[in-house]
Amino acid sequence: MLKLCPRVSSIKYHYRLRVSYELQMYVLKSLRDLLLLALEFFIENTMVQVVSTLRHNRTPLRDLGYEFLVYINADRIAFFNDPVSVEHLAIIWVIFCFLHGTKGLIVIQKGARCLTIARSLRICIFSLTLLPSPKPWCRFTGPINPFRAHVGGICNDLLYSGHVVIYTLTAISFTILSREYSVKFLRSSLRIFTWFYVFQRIVCTILERHHYSIDMVLGFIVTMLIWQCKALHRDLPRVPHNLFLHLKQLFSPKVYSILKEV
């Protein structure tokens, strides 16, 4: 046991040498936010099933927004067979942010906080009042299984839409990070394409009767307000200076020493 003490001391010494306090706090706060987001998804998935099992009048509400979109033949801009699902879009959002280094990490961390708050608030709202699904043929009889994901929301309208939260955060992130591009045409075209894609996804969701129009509009407004509210984004993980050099120092000290000499 006494022989292990020098080895333990050596491990502690090298750990303190390679891992700064700033990096430790960054990792701990990032794990905290990730855990809160995972907990939110677990609670939301459970409540979606609980609400869908309750008995109520399942006659769909009249959606004037849907009727207007049908009247103007809005299906011409809504791609119903779009291969990019909301889950795939979330993955694209995360990868796009990570490819932009430190600035992208700041955006994705703020986006994760916004996602947690927006969808937590959504749980409270759709649990207060039961709204019938726009799809009257849909039924959910259980059993309730919190560990089985139901991305489509099962058989109740969930005011407001969780899909539009992802759409909006993706568009905001693309808009912010594209400002760093030197080519003006690329900056402008990426923003226009992203927001047009978000708009047509909103229209498509309404026309597919997955959500009412009010769900999409309210979800967009709430997400934008949460993003702009500075008080809700306090104590975010602060990306350490030269984060990637810190990681290289931690996992590959030889490479780090060479880079430092260069």
133-149 confidence digits (pLDDT tens): 888 777 777 788 888 87
Is residue 158 within 8 Å of residue 215, measured between CB atoms? yes
- Judged by DSSP in three states, 118 sits in helix
Question: How far apart, in whole angstroms, are the C-alpha atoms of residue 156 and residue 162?
Answer: 13
What does each C-alpha distance from 178 to 18, 93, 242 come to in angstroms?
34, 13, 22
Q: Which residues have a Cβ under 8 Å from the Cβ of 20 and sit 6 or more positions away?
A: 240, 246
Rg (CA), the chain: 23
Is residue 149 within 8 Å of residue 44, measured between CB atoms? no
Q: Cis peptide before 237, with omega less than 30 degrees from 0?
A: no
Alpha-carbon torsion (216, 217, 223, 224), positive or negative: positive
Q: Cis peptide before 66, with omega less than 30 degrees from 0?
A: no
Residue 4: exposure state from Cβ atoms within 10 A (0-12, 13-18, ≥19)? exposed
Q: Which two tokens stand for residue 88?
A: 């795939």
Question: How far apart, in whole angstroms, are the C-alpha atoms of residue 220 and residue 170?
Answer: 12
The reported pLDDT for the residue numbered 96 is: 93
The reported pLDDT for the residue numbered 152 is: 64
Question: How far apart, in whole angstroms, are the C-alpha atoms of residue 118 and residue 110?
Answer: 12
pLDDT along the chain (262 residues), means of 10: 52 53 83 94 90 84 93 80 82 92 90 95 91 82 78 78 93 92 88 91 90 94 95 86 55 47 46
